[in-house]
Amino acid sequence: MPEKKDFIYINEKHGIEYSLLIPYEESVEELAHILIIQFNLPIYIEKELTQHLRIFIEDRTNEYFEEISDQVVQKGKDHEIPIDDIVKNWEKLMREEIIEFGERRCASDEELFATAYHKLVHSPALETMLQLEHMYSKIVRQKTEEKNALIKKLSDSQSEEMNKAVDRLEQDMTESKINELVARHYESHSLLQGQLSSELDTLKEAQRREYREWVMQMLEQNQANSSLPTPSSPLMPVVPRNFQNTRANSRDQINSPLLEESFTIHLGSQLKQMHNIRILSADVMDLCSIHDDEQLSEPTPQLLQTALGLYSNDLSGLVLMTDNKIGSRLTQEFQEVCQQTTEFHFPHIEDQLNKISSIAQQHFKNPQNGSSRNSNSELLQTGDFYMTRHSNLAQVHVIFHMVTDDSIRGIDINSRHPVVLGLRHILKTACSNDITSLTIPLLLQYEMTEEMTINWCEKRAELVFKCIKGFMIEMASWGGSELKNLQFMLPQGISQAVFTSMTEMLPRIFKVCNPKILA
Amino acid sequence: MTVDMPVSLLKNPELKFGAITFFAKQHKGDTCGSNGLPLTPNSIIIVGNAQLLKTIKSPFLCDFLDIIRGKHERTIVVSQYCGTPLAKIIDKHVLTHLQIKKIAYQALKGLSVLHKLDIVHRNLSNENILRQENGDIKLFNYGLYHMTNRGALVSFPVLEVLYTAPEVYLSGFDSGHVDKKVDIWSLGQRIRKILSLLQVNTSIFEKIAREHNCYEVYLNLPADLKELIELCLNIYPSKRLSCEELLDKLYFNEFRDIQEQKKMWEPFEVFSIQELYYWWQLAGGDVFQELKKQGLIRSSPPILSLPSLVLIEGTLLGQDRNPATLYDPRIVEMPLETLYQRFIHIPITAFYPLIHSKSDIISSSDPPPYDATGLPLVIKEKDPEYQFHRVILFRRLLHGYPFTKDLIRQEAEKDIPPLLRGDVWSALLNVPQGYERDYMRLDKYSHTTTDRQIEVDIPRCHQYNELLSSTQGHKKLKRILKAWVYKNSQYVYWQGLDSLTAPFLYLNFNDEAKAFACLSNFIPRYLHKFFLKDNTVVIEEYLAKFSQLISFHDPQLANHLHDINFDPKLFAIPWILTLFSHVFPLYKILHLWDKLLLCDASFPLHIGLSILTQLRDRLLTSGFNECILLFSDLPEVDIEKCVIASMQTYQSTPRSITSREHENEQFYKKNDLDIRGVTLEELKKESCPRISAADIINTVRKNPDKILLIDIRNTTLFHRSCVKGSVNIPFSSVSFNETVLDNLGTHSSLIKSKGDKVVAIIGDCETDLERFPNFLLQCNVSRVCVLHGDFNRFTSVIPTILTSGTTN
């Protein structure tokens, strides 16, 4: 928008001198009245003055526009403006913003599969699909266990051999021979490891392909028959019977009573928004890892929920804590959980992390981005976070990997701490990407550490509750999707006393809804 | 009369609408406005800007109907869409030169309406010019450039590639060029296109014609048409004529005569397209779903388009532009079949309700009226057929305002149709004609000392509402508040005036003057003297009355609040000062005020009481601290219950119970038999309210069984003369040591079994008029009040209500 111009309106008859900006955007009649008041003029000149003013403003406005518009045209004619650049810019703009001029783009494989999956998962085929996935995962599990067993066997035999060798050190063994042995062991160990892993990967890849093809086929059948697909037997993999029951105790673990309490709260002073909040103490990996129940061939009901929501507008997210290196060892446990079964929808976790890494590097290296960061470092900063997508986790679709550091263990962090700011970005990202369920570590860490005194926990929880409340109020004006369910997670094994103190604190900070009384 | 008639009234080919949709630009990163508050989302600014378009009425422009905000900055514009785009017509037909001239003329007429409002079309093309069945044209989609702050709030360019003036391209995308002449260029291009003609020395037009091998057509054009196009297609904007100048051309004379025979008054429309759209929505029409069904809203699953990395500075990395957010200029027409079906049985007479002269014979031939009585208000407001009848009726009544004032009031007592609420309210508030001029004369620009406070308050006032949080909303609210401060120099701006103004602005968003007029009439009626610089006396009196009203209706609660020292001044001041507009969200305020406007200044006390009644159980079991906490963030209040309960107590309470010294005499005239001259000190001492002699006289005459009169003078005086039906409990005979009703002796059973009778205590200067009512109050006797003045008030009343006391 070109700048406005100052003009002085002079009305000699009434002795008015008044400066105004052209183009004048307010009401001319009102201006006339202001002048009447300011210059203490009689009210009967209202009409005349308005008319006079209107003509003055109209003329000046016309002059103003004619001047700037003509100038532009003249410049264009005189080739003072780089016409080619202008044309290029316009062309680019139209191509990028208007569908007509944009590239004709077909739906990507990802989108096609997403649509197909979403349709089928909301049809009677759901059961078959989940069972199929379940069978696939059993096979992967079994393979993994076999792999682990083989590796263990090798390790055992190697260490035995090594022991023997060391015993004979005084006799016919020399140190160099031992070193040689170590090298040989290492080599065969990694060979086996590599071989088995690659077998596993091949298996997963095959499963993935098979599964995706099957889904597309099912959809085609469905469309051809224009009826709901009959869950006809797909390439149901056969699960070997001698499947070992090695994790019998896992079941007790799931059913062990959790510390948890739910609230319904409302936010806002006049218009009140409802949200569900839950505080629970558990191992965060329970939200990710699918517990395999050997007795049943049925998948757990949570999986059903997760599958139904995968391509919906109600995603479920989880905040995990990590350090400043993408895919560092801190995420190892999580990565293993991801690899327990086949990922049918998204790239494998390593590939996702690699891609994020390269995006980060590209960004930091580009001097145009002019950030205050060290351009050589590819490390992230505290408060940054990256996101991965998953279809094979128990209760979540999206993971926010938040970068933290040791400062988080201190007792005196405040609302301007980068991790808290990062939480705000997470809420904002969730809001603008339809992630409507979110799990956050209430103490900003999932592990119990020694600083966690009752006092420390209370202070930390109060900070997080209050900040999150503020962010949620802010969220209401962002125009995205609301956060429906918010979970605050406490480390597993937190004392009952701390837990109670948290559940008592929550209603003091958030306004808890009245229980509805049905009259 | 055929059954099909009414539907054919609805099936007017011009009463059709369509929608377009686009995405507003997202704010980048985490920026704050200059006031430190988060930026208003662009879609909200657009919603605010677009409201002005609703006021544009021209036969040559499509009526703008609605703007809807979806998630993630999606914006949907609904507007009239009827006829056939010219682009389609010129493919098949060749238009005559006369027809072309007419189109040019009407398009210019339409444009000149827009240009007068400083709106530039920018989108003029043959797609956006709709030819009606009668050959007239309407311009469509003229508001996009205006509502997006000259294209600044969207990322796509607002223009039609072929028709855009050269200077637009030359100034670049970000320049926000608002010269109206760009429309003139487009118009020229359009006309040229119609002639299917398509340079630099002599004439641009000639050049384009040559390029398109249409030079011959060009040569054969009549001179006037050629001139017109040449005038439009001058590359120098200054040499292009303006709308008005072009319209003045001689060759348009032939149209001018037909078109300009303006009627003195706009004819009364039985209903308008706005109302049709409203009914359509109530009948299940959903613009969003239609757009989805017809493929204009495509959504790809959000999990496929997540960012991969978000830096602490707020930078998003790895998120591709979602192709579904590109601008798609397609228009989706809304199907009206469901509405036609829903309304098919409505007889034609329902469109023309008789208001003043309705005979029994006519009534008997009518089908029974649509019955929605007894349904909850929220259901009635969602019932298309009920709203049809209400809107048709209220339209007529409002058309006759101010002569139909009483009828409007009468109908408003049933309910107020949401669509016309703004107008109905201003009728109920007696907004006079000429309110626009009064408002215009007020100074809303000059700086005053309250500006700062106003600016702090506005961004905190009902910001969940799209209109009120938009830039336009802020601007308008500020103007209204400044105008009010300017006009009412005897008063000051109190925080809360913003909330009080919000409902009026919301309902009259396009008519600031009316919102102001409503506010100006509202305050003297309900908040007389509340905005004085020192309003302590007024507020204290009001609060004292509130306490008394609680005692009157709910002695148990009043006693409890008294015991825990929880005084209304701790919570009720924002209630009364903003008449609950600071406490409730807008949709609740609207229902509450619907009733308030039919009642007098005492009604807010009853609303307060009904809120306490809803919280009664919690209050009775809470101590001081819990109560403070409870009111610091008021729990959800059921507004329908609240309205019903406050109406009930309002109607069952004698008016003088809530009478105040500081009431506006203009609305509540008092005479000798009313309550007057009670000082604040006296009032604060009294736990039970006073009742006026007038109210007692009235009740004794009309409803003697609704009142229990207790005469506490001594027996001798009582026997000499007393009010008919009164009982005598001499003050001296009662022992007040224990709060047990039985101490009153033989009459205690009368009090115990009184039901909802009012208990009025009559004494004279020798009796203690405090201890006795207090005693009753402590015994949890409800509706206790004391005669203002003494017994002698009644002696001069004619016809007398007195009797010599032998009846007892």
Q: Does B584 lie at the interface with A, CB-CB under 8 angstroms? A: yes
Q: Does B311 lie at the interface with A, CB-CB under 8 angstroms? A: yes
Taking phi first (over 0 means left), then psi (-120 to 50 degrees means alpha), and beta for anything else, what does residue B62 get? beta
> Which residues contact residue A514 at a Cβ distance below 8 angstroms, ignoring those fewer than 6 apart?
B635, B636
Do the beta carbons of residue B49 and residue B472 sit within 8 Å? Answer: yes
Nearest to A440 by CA among A486, A481, A474: A486
Q: How far is A514 from chain B (nearest CA, A)?
A: 7
In this structure, the answer to whether residues A333 and A416 fall within a common structural domain is yes
Contacts of B464 in chain A (CB under 8 A): 268, 270-271, 476-477
Q: Does B306 lie at the interface with A, CB-CB under 8 angstroms? A: yes
CA distance linking residue A425 with residue A9, whole number of Å: 51
B259: number of Cβ within 10 Å: 16
Q: Give me the pLDDT at residue B385, please.
A: 92
- Asked if B41's CB is within 8 angstroms of A86's CB, the reply is no
- Asked if A69's CB is within 8 angstroms of B238's CB, the reply is yes
CA distance linking residue A88 with residue A86, whole number of Å: 5
Contacts of B72 in chain A (CB under 8 A): 432, 479-481
Range of the domain at A24: 5-97
- DSSP readout, A316-337? EEEEEEE-SSTT-GGGHHHHHH
- Asked if A33's CB is within 8 angstroms of B443's CB, the reply is yes
Looking at the partner chain, which of A62, A398, A477 has a beta carbon nearest the beta carbon of B41? Answer: A477
In this structure, the answer to whether residues A76 and A9 fall within a common structural domain is yes
Q: Which two tokens stand for residue B357?
A: 């002269």
Q: Does A482 lie at the interface with B, CB-CB under 8 angstroms? A: no
User: How many residues in total does chain A contain?
Assistant: 519
Contacts of A67 in chain B (CB under 8 A): 238
Q: Give me the pLDDT at residue A298, please.
A: 64
In this structure, the answer to whether residues A91 and A116 fall within a common structural domain is no
Q: Which two tokens stand for residue A181?
A: 């042995």
Q: How far is A19 from chain B (nearest CA, A)?
A: 14
Bridge partners of B80, per DSSP, are B17
Q: How far is B429 from chain A (nearest CA, A)?
A: 25
B753: number of Cβ within 10 Å: 9
The CATH code for residues B95-144+156-259 is: 1.10.510.10
Chain centroid to Cα B301, Å, comes to: 38
Q: Give me the pLDDT at residue A133, please.
A: 85
Q: Which of B 633-672 lie inside 8 A of A, CB atoms?
A: 633, 635-636
Do the beta carbons of residue B616 and residue B645 sit within 8 Å? Answer: no
A279-299: per-residue pLDDT in tens?
999 888 888 887 765 555 566
Q: pLDDT-derived band of residue A250, with 50, 70 and 90 as boundaries?
A: very low
Q: How far is B120 from chain A (nearest CA, A)?
A: 13
Q: Does A93 lie at the interface with B, CB-CB under 8 angstroms? A: yes
A17-27: per-residue pLDDT in tens?
888 888 888 88
| DSSP label at residue A250 | H
Q: How far is B377 from chain A (nearest CA, A)?
A: 19
In this structure, the answer to whether residues A81 and A173 fall within a common structural domain is no
CA distance linking residue A500 with residue A493, whole number of Å: 13
* 3-state helix/strand/coil string of B233-261: CCCCCCCCCCHHHHHCCHHHHHHHHHHCC
Nearest to B342 by CA among B388, B379, B374, B375: B388
CA distance linking residue A82 with residue A65, whole number of Å: 22
| DSSP label at residue A447 | S
Looking at the partner chain, which of B156, B312, B636 has a beta carbon nearest the beta carbon of A383? Answer: B312
Contacts of A65 in chain B (CB under 8 A): 178-181, 237
Domain borders along chain B are: 9-80+267-333, 95-144+156-259, 366-424, 435-526, 536-658, 688-803
| Domain contains A240 | no
The segments of chain B whose pLDDT lies below 70 read 1-7, 29-34, 162, 166-219, 256-265, 358, 805-808
Q: How far is A197 from chain B (nearest CA, A)?
A: 27
Q: Give me the pLDDT at residue B805, please.
A: 57
| DSSP label at residue B340 | H
> Which residues contact residue A160 at a Cβ distance below 8 angstroms, ignoring those fewer than 6 apart?
none
Q: Indicate the SS3 state at residue B787.
A: strand
Nearest to A279 by CA among A459, A422, A421, A442: A442
Q: Give me the pLDDT at residue B196, please.
A: 38
Task: Count CA atoms within 13 Å of residue A27 on its CB side.
Answer: 17
Nearest to B289 by CA among B329, B337, B334: B334
Phi, psi of B20 (to 5 degrees): -125, 160
Q: Give me the pLDDT at residue B358, please.
A: 67
CA distance linking residue B471 with residue B485, whole number of Å: 21
Contacts of B292 in chain A (CB under 8 A): none
Burial of B12 (0-12, 13-18, 19+ CB in 10 A): exposed
Reply yes or no on whether the pLDDT at A158 is more than 50: yes
B261-317: per-residue pLDDT in tens?
555 667 788 889 999 999 999 999 999 999 988 888 877 888 988 999 998 888 888
CATH topology of domain B688-803: Oxidized Rhodanese; domain 1 (3.40.250)
Task: Count CA atoms within 13 Å of residue A427 on its CB side.
Answer: 27
Do the beta carbons of residue A178 and residue A166 sit within 8 Å? Answer: yes
Do the beta carbons of residue B791 and residue B716 sit within 8 Å? Answer: no
Q: Does B36 lie at the interface with A, CB-CB under 8 angstroms? A: no
In this structure, the answer to whether residues A13 and A46 fall within a common structural domain is yes
CA distance linking residue A20 with residue A34, whole number of Å: 13
In this structure, the answer to whether residues A274 and A335 fall within a common structural domain is yes
Q: Does A324 lie at the interface with B, CB-CB under 8 angstroms? A: no
Note the helical H segments in A28-169: 28-38, 46-77, 83-97, 109-121, 126-167
Do the beta carbons of residue B83 and residue B333 sit within 8 Å? Answer: no
Q: Which of B 117-136 lie inside 8 A of A, CB atoms?
A: 118
Q: Does A98 lie at the interface with B, CB-CB under 8 angstroms? A: yes
| Cα end-to-end span (Å), chain B | 71
CATH architecture of B435-526: Orthogonal Bundle (1.10)
- Asked if B469's CB is within 8 angstroms of A271's CB, the reply is no
Estimate the share of chain B in helix, then strand, then coil, as percent rounded to the nearest 5: 50, 5, 40
Last-in-domain residue among A40, A63, A97: A97
- Asked if A93's CB is within 8 angstroms of B156's CB, the reply is yes
B651: number of Cβ within 10 Å: 9
Nearest to A510 by CA among A478, A471, A479, A481: A471
Size of interface A-B (CB pairs under 8 A): 221
| Rounded (5°) CA angle B707-B710-B715 | 145
Bridge partners of A279, per DSSP, are A261, A488
Do the beta carbons of residue A402 and residue A321 sit within 8 Å? Answer: yes
A224-to-A125, A139, A432, B96, B780 alpha-carbon distances in Å:
15, 32, 37, 52, 77
Alpha-carbon torsion A416, A418, A420, A421, what sign? Answer: positive
Q: How many domains does chain A have?
A: 3
Q: Which two tokens stand for residue A263?
A: 């609230």
Burial of A37 (0-12, 13-18, 19+ CB in 10 A): middle
User: What's the mean pLDDT when you consider all of chain A?
Assistant: 82
CA distance linking residue B233 with residue B188, whole number of Å: 6
Q: pLDDT-derived band of residue A218, with 50, 70 and 90 as boundaries?
A: confident
In this structure, the answer to whether residues A267 and A328 fall within a common structural domain is yes
Contacts of B237 in chain A (CB under 8 A): 65-66, 69-70, 73
Question: Among A5, A58, A69, A372, which would you mutate to test the B interface (most chain B Cβ atoms within 10 Å of its Cβ)?
Answer: A69
CATH number, domain of A325, equals 3.40.220.10
CA distance linking residue B165 with residue B236, whole number of Å: 10
Q: What is the share, in percent, of chain A residues with pLDDT greater than 70?
A: 87
- DSSP readout, B619-659? HHT--HHHHHHHHHTPPP--HHHHHHHHHHHHHHS-GGGG-
The answer to whether the complex's ipTM is over 0.90 is: no
Question: Among A34, A50, A270, which would you mutate to test the B interface (most chain B Cβ atoms within 10 Å of its Cβ)?
Answer: A270
Reply yes or no on whether the pLDDT at A248 is more than 80: no
A411-439: per-residue pLDDT in tens?
888 888 999 999 999 999 999 899 999 99
CA distance linking residue A45 with residue A32, whole number of Å: 9
Angle between the N-to-C axes of helices B639-652 and B586-596, in degrees from 0 to 180, rounded to the nearest 10: 20
The amino acid at A327: G
Q: Which of A 107-166 lie inside 8 A of B, CB atoms?
A: 110-111, 114, 118
B364: number of Cβ within 10 Å: 7
Contacts of A432 in chain B (CB under 8 A): 26, 72
Task: Count CA atoms within 13 Å of residue B535 on its CB side.
Answer: 18
Nearest to B25 by CA among B155, B150, B137: B155
Strand order in the sheet with B84-85: B84-85, B129-131, B137-139
> Which residues contact residue A31 at a Cβ distance below 8 angstroms, ignoring those fewer than 6 apart?
A20, A24, A53
In this structure, the answer to whether residues A83 and A117 fall within a common structural domain is no
Contacts of B633 in chain A (CB under 8 A): 269, 511
Task: Count CA atoms within 13 Å of residue B187 on its CB side.
Answer: 35
Looking at the partner chain, which of A65, A110, A270 has a beta carbon nearest the beta carbon of B304? Answer: A110
Q: Which of B 767-796 lie inside 8 A of A, CB atoms?
A: none
| Domain contains A239 | no
Question: Among A18, A97, A326, which would you mutate to test the B interface (most chain B Cβ atoms within 10 Å of its Cβ)?
Answer: A97
Q: Does B445 lie at the interface with A, CB-CB under 8 angstroms? A: yes
The amino acid at B40: T
A312-323: per-residue pLDDT in tens?
999 999 999 998
- Asked if B178's CB is within 8 angstroms of A65's CB, the reply is yes
CATH topology of domain B536-658: Cyclin A; domain 1 (1.10.472)
Q: Give me the pLDDT at residue A241, please.
A: 45
Burial of B204 (0-12, 13-18, 19+ CB in 10 A): buried
Contacts of B586 in chain A (CB under 8 A): 270-271
Burial of A266 (0-12, 13-18, 19+ CB in 10 A): middle
In this structure, the answer to whether residues A138 and A273 fall within a common structural domain is no
Q: Does B446 lie at the interface with A, CB-CB under 8 angstroms? A: yes
